[in-house]
Amino acid sequence: MPIPGNLLTTAMAVMPHTDVERALEMALSLDIPFWPQLPLYNYYEDMYVQASENFPGIILDMEKRHLGFSTDKFMEELENAMARWGETDFFDISKTYSVVYHKFLELDLSNCPAIRGQLEGPISFGFNVADENDRPILFNDTIRPFMLEFMARRVNVQLHRLKKLNPNAFMFVDEPGLQFLFSAMAGYGDQAAKGDMETFFSMIDRPRGVHLCGNPDWDFLLGLDLDVLSLDIYTNAEVFRSYAGSIRKFLDRGGVLVWGIIPTNYEPFEKESLDSLEDILENVWSVLSKKGIDRDFLISRSLLSPATCCLVNPDKEKTVEKAFLQIKEFSKRLREKYGL
């Protein structure tokens, strides 16, 4: 399997560090390393800003840390973007937009069981980038189809580069906006949204998957043609375990689940223990087992990670680093328990 399971560890990419080398050290400490996104180090390292590079119409204000959009600017720059459509570098992340990414590309990662990259997905990007009328560009029927293909090309270019470092490289499409996808939104109905997401993923090379920390329409998300799904099970355990039918179909298609279990926010981290977190996760597994999902099979297609990203702790990166250490300990504990 290109994406391993058996309770190996990885993590979300957004980290609170301002020290690039330290952030990389933490990312490399896990079984499946990744390149960190460090918005507190530099606004270019923000996940939305990185996704915006070379996108026509973008207005980036570094001083105010604001990402905007101009429809007139989009029309002016569209011709140049189409002229460069076949250029790999046009869709990759430049050194200006991520120092960390390019340091990661210089490493020897051939002995890792897998490595991972990520890019902000079109739904979340389209929700968060608004035009001159403060309207999200996701609702623009002219811009949206271009955005879907543009972001798909960006994912594919990064994946191709990572596969040169490790043949088991895979990509997360970060989509926190998916939890709002099927809420009442003028100008963008459920069926259009489903069609766009299916089109987007059909353009992305494998292995491909989604990471999100929210609570979306799980039936829809598990039904997409994904290879891996990363979720915050710490927060969403009660809801997610209700979707045994969709989870079983996802696993039967070869899907891998990343169980985000260790909280990274200061207060919940301090109140939990490995025992309490094990209870949360195994209660979910027990329910799924009773509904017909073989536990050994489930574990063989499972990875472990911290529950979420976190940039707002009073101790800055300390709790996040503790969560990274704890997920390794948690993995070792469960792997010994299940004879892996």
Q: Is 304 helix (H, G, I), strand (E, B) or coil?
A: strand
Tokens of 57: 């119409």
> Rounded to whole angstroms, how far apart are CA atoms 37 and 44?
9
How high is the pLDDT of residue 250? Answer: 96
Question: To the nearest whole percent, how much of the chain has pLDDT over 70?
Answer: 97
Tens-place pLDDT, residues 7-23: 999 999 999 999 999 99
Tens-place pLDDT, residues 40-85: 999 999 999 999 999 999 999 999 999 999 999 999 999 999 999 9
Q: Is 285 helix (H, G, I), strand (E, B) or coil?
A: helix
Q: The CATH number of 8-337 is which of 3.30.70, 3.20.20, 1.20.120, 2.60.40?
A: 3.20.20
Q: Is 191 helix (H, G, I), strand (E, B) or coil?
A: helix
How high is the pLDDT of residue 193? Answer: 76
**Residue 221 above 60 pLDDT?**
yes
Query: In one letter, which amino acid is 190?
Result: D
**Residue 183 above 80 pLDDT?**
no
Residue ranges covered by each domain of the chain: 8-337
Which has more confidence, 233 or 183?
A: 233
Mean pLDDT across 205-231: 90
A 10 A CB-CB count for 198 gives 13
Question: To the nearest whole percent, how much of the chain has pLDDT over 90?
Answer: 87
Lowest-confidence segment of 33-37, 154-158, 212-216, 301-305 by average pLDDT: 212-216
Contact partners, residue 63, CB within 8 Å, separation at least 6: none
**pLDDT confidence band for 222 (50 / 70 / 90):** very high
**pLDDT confidence band for 215 (50 / 70 / 90):** confident
333-336 long-range contacts, CB within 8 A, separation 24+? 333/274, 333/278, 334/7, 334/278, 334/304, 335/6, 335/7
Put the strands of the sheet holding 116-120 in their side by side order.
8-9, 302-306, 256-262, 228-232, 208-211, 170-174, 116-120
**Residue 256 above 90 pLDDT?**
yes
Mean pLDDT across 314-332: 97
> Rounded to whole angstroms, how far apart are CA atoms 16 and 40?
6
Contact partners, residue 278, CB within 8 Å, separation at least 6: 330, 333, 334
Tens-place pLDDT, residues 274-304: 999 999 999 999 999 999 999 999 999 999 9
For residue 33, which of 23, 41, 43 has the smallest C-alpha distance? 23
How high is the pLDDT of residue 1? Answer: 62
How high is the pLDDT of residue 181? Answer: 66
Mean pLDDT across 17-41: 97
**Residue 185 above 80 pLDDT?**
no
Query: In one letter, which amino acid is 255?
Result: G
How high is the pLDDT of residue 53? Answer: 98
**Residue 180 above 80 pLDDT?**
no
How high is the pLDDT of residue 340? Answer: 92
**pLDDT confidence band for 2 (50 / 70 / 90):** confident
DSSP secondary structure, 8-65, as one string: EE---SB---S-HHHHHHHHHTSSS-B--B-TTT-GGGSHHHHHHTT-TTEEEETTTT
Mean pLDDT across 97-121: 97
